[in-house]
């Protein structure tokens, strides 16, 4: 019985396993590079998106409040509210277009 071979023999290093490990390592490095923060570019886009949202909401809500105040003081039922709403929308879009047309200095990444 001492001459019997073990049920499983140890497997030697296989070139396919080494190649697979190298490919996995390269894929992990590419994934880390892809997920690395880009710096100021992402923050600038986030800030400009928040500014567009604030301009749009502020213009609409400001126009509604201003129109409602005019209606309550002058007694011009829905007309002050409607005019204020449309003026607020116009001002908001004017601000958004002005912001979109300003030129920014971009640093190449």
Query: Considering only CA atoms, which of 39, 26, 95, 92 is closest in space to residue 61?
Result: 92
Tens digit of each residue's pLDDT (9 = 90 or more) over 17-65: 888 999 999 999 999 988 887 666 668 888 889 999 999 999 999 999 9
Query: Mapping DSSP to helix (H, G, I), strand (E, B) and coil, where does residue 103 land?
Result: coil
CB 36 within 8 A of CB 109: no
pLDDT of 103 reads: 74
CB 84 within 8 A of CB 61: no
pLDDT of 51 reads: 93
Q: Which residues contact 78 (CB under 8 A, 6 or more apart)?
A: 71
Q: Is 39 left (phi over 0), alpha (psi -120 to 50) or beta?
A: left
Tens digit of each residue's pLDDT (9 = 90 or more) over 2-25: 566 666 666 666 788 888 999 999
């Amino acid at each position: 019985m001492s001459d019997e071979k073990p049920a499983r023999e140890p497997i030697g290093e296989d070139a396919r396993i080494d190649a697979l490990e190298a490919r996995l390592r390269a894929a992990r490095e590419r994934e880390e590079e892809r997920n690395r923060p880009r710096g100021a570019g992402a923050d600038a886009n986030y800030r400009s998106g928040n500014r567009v949202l604030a301009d749009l909401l502020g213009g609409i809500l400001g126009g509604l409040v201003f129109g409602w105040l005019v209606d309550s003081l002058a007694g011009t039922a829905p007309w002050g509210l409607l005019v204020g709403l449309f003026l607020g929308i116009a001002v908001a879009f004017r601000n958004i277009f002005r912001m979109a047309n300003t030129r920014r200095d971009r640093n190449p990444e």
